[in-house]
Amino acid sequence: SNNPGRYHSPEEAARLDAVCEDVYKGHKQLRMVPYCKFFEDKVELVMGYLQDALHVDGLAGKRQRVTVRLRAAAVPPEVQHHAQAFVITSTFLDEAMQNSIRRRVRIGVDCWCEGMRPESLSIDEALAKDCLSQSEMFEEREAIPEENYLARRVISKVQYHKIAVLTRQEPVDRCVLSFQDQSGSHYELFYIKNSAQRELVLDLTVGSSLPDWLEPEHSARAKPHPRWPEECAQEARVRKLGRH
C-alpha cells in the first residue's frame, strides 16, 4: 500500500482482522464490512450500518414512500448517467418474519429501465451472468423488536445459498434505481420484479419534493418507510397477492 499508516503485511492484516472479530463477535451491534469492488459501494454499506446502529430511518432524516409514475416514456438520460441500479432479494426464514436473508446484486441502469416492462426478461438475464458475481452482497438479518433494532451480519455466497434452500418462504425481488438530485437529496425508485404490474414506488426523505420527471399516481398517499419487519412483511404479502 502507498498509505504510510498501513504497515502490516497482507498476512498480518488478515490475522488481526480475525483477532478483532473474535474479540467483538458477542456484541449485538457488530458489523463486518466485506470487500467491495467499488469504493462507493463500501461507503454505502457503512452508511447503512450507521443508520441501523443509530436507530434512524436515514441519516438525512425520516423517509417515506409514495406510488408514482413517469411523466415521459423513460427515465431522463441525465438521471440514468449518474444513477446506480440493484436487485435486492429478501427471503424471510420464519413465520414471525423476524429473521431473513438478503442478497443485493448490482445491475446496469439500462437493464433496470428495460425491466420496467412486465414481459421483459432483462433482470433475469442479468442475474444469470457470472460477471456480476463481484457485485453481490449477502446479509443475514434478525429483528429484535423488544430492543427496537435490526441486527445485520454479512455472510458468504455459500452460506446464503445453504440457508435459502432450506426455507419455505418465497423470496421477493425489489429492483431499485438509486439516484440523487442537484441538492444532494437521495431517492430510491423501485418495482417488484415478479409482480404482474410494474408499479413504481419512490422512497424519499420526508419533506423532499418529487423529481420533476415523476408524478404521484392518482389518490396515492405517502406512507412511512417500513423500517420494522412486520411492516416489511405486510408489504411482501401485498406484492405476492398482486401477482395472482
Q: Which cell is 162 given?
A: 445453504
Enter the DSSP assignment of 26. Answer: T
pTM metric for this prediction: 0.68
Give the pLDDT confidence score for residue 187 in this predicted structure.
92
Q: How wide is the angle at C-alpha 223 spanned by C-alphas 241 and 48, nearest 5°?
A: 95
Tens-digit pLDDT profile for the chain (244 aa)? 566 677 778 888 888 888 988 888 777 667 777 777 777 777 777 876 776 665 444 444 577 899 999 998 899 999 999 999 999 999 999 888 888 999 988 889 999 998 888 777 777 776 666 444 457 888 888 887 766 666 778 888 899 999 999 888 889 999 999 998 888 788 999 999 877 778 999 999 888 899 999 999 876 565 665 554 444 444 444 444 333 3
Give the pLDDT confidence score for residue 222 in this predicted structure.
59
Strand pairing partners for 101?
91, 140
Give the pLDDT confidence score for residue 11 in this predicted structure.
87
Nearest by Cα to 206 from 187, 233, 232: 187
